[in-house]
């Protein structure tokens, strides 16, 4: 963080949920629809209080489920309102159908996902299985490592969403961030207003110019009543993919502009620490990247040139950035708090895919850690890296399936 | 509010000629009059249903009002979102209207509908009831009657009575609950117009006979709907701020001294071909019992 952050910033002690709610308030969201679930609940309570006290002119719809929360956000966004919701775990899974729908409709809904393990069995603590299971829905996914990044990325999320016409999920760790107080620089309303203009909808609800959104659409292009060939389902879906790819530039430029205004730059889709001259990269998503920095420092003290690549943006996946960051490394050790069951850790697959076809001899090895809030200690990460390194040097590393850091 | 008649009903059409519904479908007729009553000043939200089929295939639609399609379970939540969004933007010119079938209302959509009703969200919810999942080719729904043969009750027929969704909605203490029938389109028109003038969640149930699903010739739709009223299978009424009132067609049945036997109605429909005498009696008892309760509410 730069020392010259704008003087209108006021530092407050905030937990992650409060930071998320305050972020939404500063963005002047107009419709909020949310349903309580641990550990997201305080976001719904904080926003309710903000709206009931009249500190924010918004419609707060106290829905009866997360599916309805996202349906309310979807239709309210289509009307032209800036919308916000937050959820966790089972709530996000329950929204799954609507997540697809919102992305397919290209609506700039912003969702705070307070990452929590998913059942069965019941568990309310942190891992990333919930949001990673939604990676294929067409949403931008950004992750935060601390409460400042939660607030900052929610503000950026609206700029990105409304520029790219894509929904954005801002994800942060349950409890370790959501319920932990940290100092957060809170920008003034004027400063946020300067950064984020009011939303101008690309959708039209006007009886004199009636539009029918999301009609049944055939696979192939089809003529309209004027004989003009219009997109088929595949063309519409292609445009969603294209928008995600193009959004990388928007994410970076919005992050850069945010840095210019607020003194905290988000110009990169990655966080890179100690990667200069690193021969071993530790790859982690979200808050785990902080623990990885401590691990890398331990390894450096032992003479191992380790660095950290933190995935701030997971969708769109920053392939080129990862590839550039990994240049010069001979080993990437990926720590995942989510897994594609029957295959391997989520970020591990992505890292391997980014490297495919580059002719590299780099080894990529994956560990599954920290599921269901299992504590992840820096020394465990460092130990795992050392073991992997030793096996690599002996030519005995088997990366066929991920290693689990647990008692089995 | 004065009643509309065939002479002063507006000529303006919001549903264009030619749509993809089956010949003789009651939904086309009902929807045509619903849109007339709204005078186009509405945004409709529609889940997966026969009405989706009516709306057409991109980029061609048969409907000239703004429409927001929404997944099956989310009709009422979508309407709540439209309503909240319009309110947030200060727009008061449009009535939000959710229109779903009985599957989308009685079954998969009831959670969102009950939530919106309890919150008293501001929209008109219309359930067109063809007593089954007709868009997917006729399977049983919570609204299918006892004895119905359908794709998922193919041999024995449905073993349970219909869910009384109108009573469920009335239990939410809504400002306006009404039943209507495609066979009485002017009555339906009046009810939609009245609902449009009110605030909060207004619920209208519309009986829409389905020629292929129920197994009757497509030219008999209106007659089936009329006989449903005459037998008391479909009772037309309004509950306005808690006050119950029979609508003219059902009031006339009450005044003329009674119901025609249910047997006459089920005999016209292929879906009841396997009904046994005891099932017919059970349906008759169900219809008669409900009719008596309605009469008791009118005070007669």
Please write the tens of the pLDDT for every residue from A82-127: 999 999 999 999 999 999 999 999 999 999 999 999 999 999 999 9
pLDDT in tens, A46-85: 999 999 999 999 999 999 999 999 999 999 999 999 999 9
Instruction: Compute the distance between CA of residue A48 and CA of residue A188 in angstroms, rounded to an integer.
Output: 21
On the question of a common fold for A10-200+251-262 and A270-404, the answer reads yes
Q: Which two tokens stand for residue A65?
A: 């489920």
The partner residue sitting opposite B81, judged by closest CB among A75, A212, A224, is A75
CATH number of the domain to which B181 belongs: 3.40.50.970
pLDDT in tens, B172-184: 999 999 999 999 9
Residue ranges of B 222-261 with Cβ closer than 8 A to chain A: none
Look at residue A293 and tell me whether its pLDDT is greater than 70. Answer: yes
Is the CB of A215 less than 8 angstroms away from the CB of B89?
A: no
Does residue B160 sit within a domain? Answer: yes
Q: Contacts of residue A72 in chain B, CB cutoff 8 Å? A: 77-78, 80-81, 84
Q: Which two tokens stand for residue A103?
A: 């992305």
Residue whose tokens read 């959104």: A213
Alpha carbons within 13 angstroms on the beta-carbon side of residue B61 total 22
Query: For chain B, what is the domain count?
Result: 1
Instruction: Compute the distance between CA of residue A269 and CA of residue A140 in angstroms, rounded to an integer.
Output: 12
Which residue range forms the structural domain that includes residue B235? 26-298
pLDDT in tens, A365-379: 999 999 999 999 999
Apex A365 CA angle, A360 and A367, nearest 5: 155
CA B98 from centroid of its chain's CA atoms: 12
Per-residue pLDDT averaged across A220-233, rounded?
Answer: 96
The partner residue sitting opposite B40, judged by closest CB among A68, A207, A217, is A207
Task: Please give, rounded to a whole number of angstroms, the shortest distance from the CA of A177 to a CA of chain B.
Answer: 30
Q: Which two tokens stand for residue B80?
A: 């709540």
Q: Which two tokens stand for residue B182?
A: 């495609």
At the topology level, CATH places domain A270-404 in Rossmann fold (3.40.50)
Does residue B14 sit within a domain? Answer: no
Taking CA atoms, A162 is separated from A132, A166, A196, A370, in Å, by 23, 7, 10, 34
Instruction: Compute the distance between CA of residue A64 and CA of residue B77 in angstroms, rounded to an integer.
Output: 9
Other CB atoms closer than 10 Å to residue A121's CB: what's the count?
6
Is the CB of B81 less than 8 angstroms away from the CB of A61?
A: yes
The partner residue sitting opposite A68, judged by closest CB among B41, B56, B74, is B74
Structural class in CATH, domain A10-200+251-262 = alpha beta
What is the per-residue pLDDT for A9?
67
Does residue B158 sit within a domain? Answer: yes
SS3 readout for chain A:
CCCCCCCCCEEEEECHHHHHHHHHHHCCCCEEECCCCCCCHHHHHHHHHHHHCCCCCCEEECCCCHHHHHHHHHHHHHHCCCEEEEECHHHHHHCHHHHHHHHHCCCCCEEEEEECCCCCCCCCCCCCHHHHCCHHHCCEEEECCCHHHHHHHHHHHHHHHHHHCCCEEEEEECCCCCCCCEEEEECCHHHHHHHCCCCCCCCCCCCCCCCEECCECCCCCEECCCCCEECCHHHHHHHHHHHHHHHHHHHHHHHHHHHHHHCCCCCCCEEEECCCCCCEEEEEECCHHHHHHHHHHHHHHCCCCEEEEEECEEECCCHHHHHHHHCCCCEEEEEECCECCCCCEHHHHHHHHHHCCCCCCCEEEEEECCHHHCCCCHHHHHHHHHHHHHHHHCCCCCCCCCEECCCC
Q: What is the domain partition of chain A in residue ranges?
A: 10-200+251-262, 270-404
Look at residue A4 and tell me whether its pLDDT is greater than 70. Answer: no
Does residue B16 sit within a domain? Answer: no
Average per-residue pLDDT in chain A? 96
Please tell me whether the peptide bond between A39 and the residue prior to it is cis, using omega within 30 degrees of 0.
yes
Task: Please give, rounded to a whole number of angstroms, the shortest distance from the CA of B89 to a CA of chain A.
Answer: 7
Give chain B's end-to-end CA distance (angstroms, integer): 24
What is the per-residue pLDDT for B300?
59
Does residue B5 sit within a domain? Answer: no
pLDDT in tens, A267-291: 999 999 999 999 999 999 999 999 9
Does residue B2 sit within a domain? Answer: no
Alpha carbons within 13 angstroms on the beta-carbon side of residue A250 total 21
Instruction: Compute the distance between CA of residue A172 and CA of residue A176 in angstroms, rounded to an integer.
Output: 9
Does residue B11 sit within a domain? Answer: no
Per-residue pLDDT averaged across B32-55, rounded?
Answer: 97
Q: Choose the mutation target among B47, B84, B201 for the interface with A, i.e. most A CBs under 10 Å.
A: B84
């Amino acid at each position: 963080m730069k020392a010259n952050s704008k003087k209108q910033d006021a530092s407050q002690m905030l937990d992650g949920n409060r930071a998320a709610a305050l972020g939404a308030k500063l963005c002047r969201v107009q419709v909020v629809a949310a349903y309580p679930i641990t550990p997201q609940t305080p976001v719904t309570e904080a926003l309710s209080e903000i709206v009931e006290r009249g500190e924010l002119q918004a419609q707060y719809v106290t829905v009866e489920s997360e599916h309805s929360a996202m349906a309310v956000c979807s239709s309210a966004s289509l009307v032209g309102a800036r919308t916000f919701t937050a959820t966790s775990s089972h709530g996000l899974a329950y929204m799954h159908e609507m997540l697809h729908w919102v992305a397919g409709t290209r609506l700039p809904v912003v969702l705070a996902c307070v990452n929590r393990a998913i059942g069965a069995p019941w568990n309310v603590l942190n891992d990333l299985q919930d949001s990673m299971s939604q990676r294929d829905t067409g949403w931008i996914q950004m992750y935060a490592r601390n409460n400042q990044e939660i607030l900052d990325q929610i503000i950026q999320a609206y700029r990105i969403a409304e520029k790219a016409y894509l929904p954005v999920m801002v994800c942060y760790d349950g409890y370790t961030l959501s319920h932990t107080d940290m100092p957060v620089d809170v920008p003034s309303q004027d400063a946020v207003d300067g950064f984020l203009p009011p939303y101008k909808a690309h959708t039209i609800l006007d009886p004199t110019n009636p539009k029918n959104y999301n009609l049944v659409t055939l696979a192939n292009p089809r003529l309209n009543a004027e004989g003009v060939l219009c997109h088929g389902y595949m063309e519409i879906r292609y445009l969603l993919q294209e928008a995600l790819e193009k959004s990388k530039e928007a994410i970076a430029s919005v992050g850069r502009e945010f840095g210019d205004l607020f003194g905290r730059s988000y110009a990169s889709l990655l966080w890179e620490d100690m990667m200069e001259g690193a021969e071993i990269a530790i790859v982690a998503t979200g808050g785990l990247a902080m623990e990885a920095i401590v691990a890398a420092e331990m390894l450096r003290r032992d003479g191992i040139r380790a660095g950290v690549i933190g995935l701030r943006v997971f969708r769109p996946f920053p392939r080129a950035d990862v590839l550039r960051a990994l240049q010069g490394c001979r080993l990437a050790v990926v720590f995942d708090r989510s897994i594609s069951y029957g295959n391997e850790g989520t970020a591990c697959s992505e890292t391997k895919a980014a490297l495919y076809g580059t002719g590299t001899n780099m080894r990529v090895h994956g560990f599954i850690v920290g599921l269901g809030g299992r504590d992840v200690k820096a020394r465990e990460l460092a130990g795992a890296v050392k073991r992997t390194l030793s096996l690599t040097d002996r030519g005995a590393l088997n990366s066929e399936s991920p290693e689990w850091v647990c008692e089995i | 509010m004065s009643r509309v008649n065939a002479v002063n009903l507006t000529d303006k059409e919001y549903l264009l000629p030619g749509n993809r519904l089956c010949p003789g479908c009651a939904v086309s007729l009902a929807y045509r009059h619903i849109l007339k009553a709204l005078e186009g000043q509405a945004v409709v939200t529609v889940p997966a249903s026969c009405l989706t089929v009516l709306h057409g295939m991109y980029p061609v639609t048969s409907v000239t009002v703004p429409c927001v399609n929404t997944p099956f379970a989310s009709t009422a939540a979508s309407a709540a979102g439209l309503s909240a969004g319009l309110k947030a933007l200060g727009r008061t010119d449009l009535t939000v209207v959710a229109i779903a079938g009985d599957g989308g209302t009685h079954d998969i959509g009831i959670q969102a509908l009950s939530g919106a009703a309890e919150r008293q969200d501001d929209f008109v919810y219309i359930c067109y009831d063809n007593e089954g999942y007709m868009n997917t080719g006729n399977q049983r729904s919570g609204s299918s009657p006892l004895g119905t043969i359908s794709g998922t009750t193919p041999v024995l027929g449905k073993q349970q009575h219909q869910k009384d969704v109108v009573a469920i909605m009335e239990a939410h203490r809504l400002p306006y609950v009404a039943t209507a029938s495609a066979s009485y389109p002017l009555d339906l028109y009046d009810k939609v117009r009245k609902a449009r003038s009110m605030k909060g969640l207004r619920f209208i149930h519309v009986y829409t006979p389905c020629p292929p699903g129920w197994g009757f010739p497509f030219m008999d739709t209106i007659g089936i709907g009329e006989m449903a009223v005459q037998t008391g299978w479909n009772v037309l009424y309004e509950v306005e701020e808690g006050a119950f009132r029979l609508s003219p067609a059902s009031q006339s049945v009450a005044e003329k001294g009674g119901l025609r036997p249910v047997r006459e109605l089920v005999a016209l429909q292929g879906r009841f071909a396997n009904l046994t005498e005891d099932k017919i009696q059970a349906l008759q008892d169900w219809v008669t019992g409900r009719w008596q309760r309605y009469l008791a509410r009118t005070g007669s």
